[in-house]
Amino acid sequence: MAAPPSVLVVGSINVDLVIHADRLPAPGETVAGGRLERAGGGKGANQAVAAARAGAAVALVGAVGDDELGTDALAALRAEGVDVGAVARLGGVATGVALIVVDRDGRNQIAVASGANHEVSAEHVRAARGSAPGCVLASFELLDEPVLAAARIARDAGCPLLVDPAPARPLEARLRELRPILTPNHPEAAELTGEQDPDAAARALTAQTGAAVVVTLGERGALVADGAGSAHLPAPAVRAVDTTGAGDSFNGVLAAELARGAELRAAVHAAVAAAAQSVTRAGARG
């Protein structure tokens, strides 16, 4: 039997505190009558779980606090089959927490206290180097240096590098030179380039990195831009319950498919389908 594809995820680990409400509050407004739920979250952790569910052997690099929330977060990841041996337990630092409000149409508002996530260093990432992965996935909920360290692991392994630039911030020249496949959503692509049209934004990012770019478009699917041009891959029609974590499902499955050796557009097609299914269930991890 062939070994499962190997994915290294370098990213954040949070605990999500989610309020399901009839509608999202306006600035300064209180919306009462909601239902509270606690769940695992963080882009890195969510992406690792999605890749593991897609059949990949996943190792996660990140950090949690030496607190109850960190203990619970790691237990949930182990239960999903994610290797958390390279996740640091940091004393005197809180585990990351996301406060999320989800309305009756599945739309959300999110505020994050980064906590231990912003203590992840390049040294943490370099220390986790093991056998060569089939794909490396990193996101911007960590600082630049650990993201760069992850990118260099991908370069040295000769494997695809996915970078989810969320929340959006300017791309470091050192990262652009490592030719990441960027996976912003439409607003992030616009913020990174100043281009409101997703196709123009994707082409502008491709010009910066010399690599393919995938712009996720929510219920409209995704746009892929590469040397062969651009293509729109539509999403199946579903009834959205909760869009929290849909992008993470997309990235995790995309990483698993690329590690398996799939061609980019075929991998994006699978990732779009997975993200569509994820919004039919409550919670960032469904």
pLDDT in tens, 91-126: 999 999 999 999 998 888 989 899 999 999 999 999
105 is catalytic: no
pLDDT in tens, 135-153: 999 999 999 999 999 999 9
Q: Considering the chain, what percentage of its residues have pLDDT values greater than 90?
A: 84
pLDDT in tens, 56-103: 999 999 999 999 999 999 999 999 999 999 999 999 999 999 999 999
What pLDDT band is residue 4 in, cutting at 50, 70 and 90?
confident
Distance between CA atoms of 225 and 215, rounded to whole angstroms? 8
Q: Classify burial at 151, counting beta carbons within 10 Å of its beta carbon; exposed 0-12, middle 13-18, buried 19 or more.
A: buried
Domain 43-92+121-278 sits in CATH 3.40.1010.10: no
- Residues 105, 16, 136, 93, Cα dihedral to 10°: 150
Rounded to whole angstroms, what are the CA distances from 281 to 23, 244, 245? 18, 10, 10
**What does the pLDDT average to over 217-246?**
87
**Domain boundaries along the sequence of the chain:** 43-92+121-278
Q: Could you tell me which residues come within 8 angstroms of residue 186 by beta carbon, excluding any fewer than 6 positions away?
A: 198, 201, 215, 216, 217, 218
Token pair, residue 241, equals: 């319950």
Q: What is the pLDDT of residue 166?
A: 94
Choose, from 67, 83, 164, 248, the residue flagged as catalytic. 248
Residue 261 phi, psi dihedral angles, 5° rounding:
100, 10
In the block, which residue shows the tokens 């690329």?
258
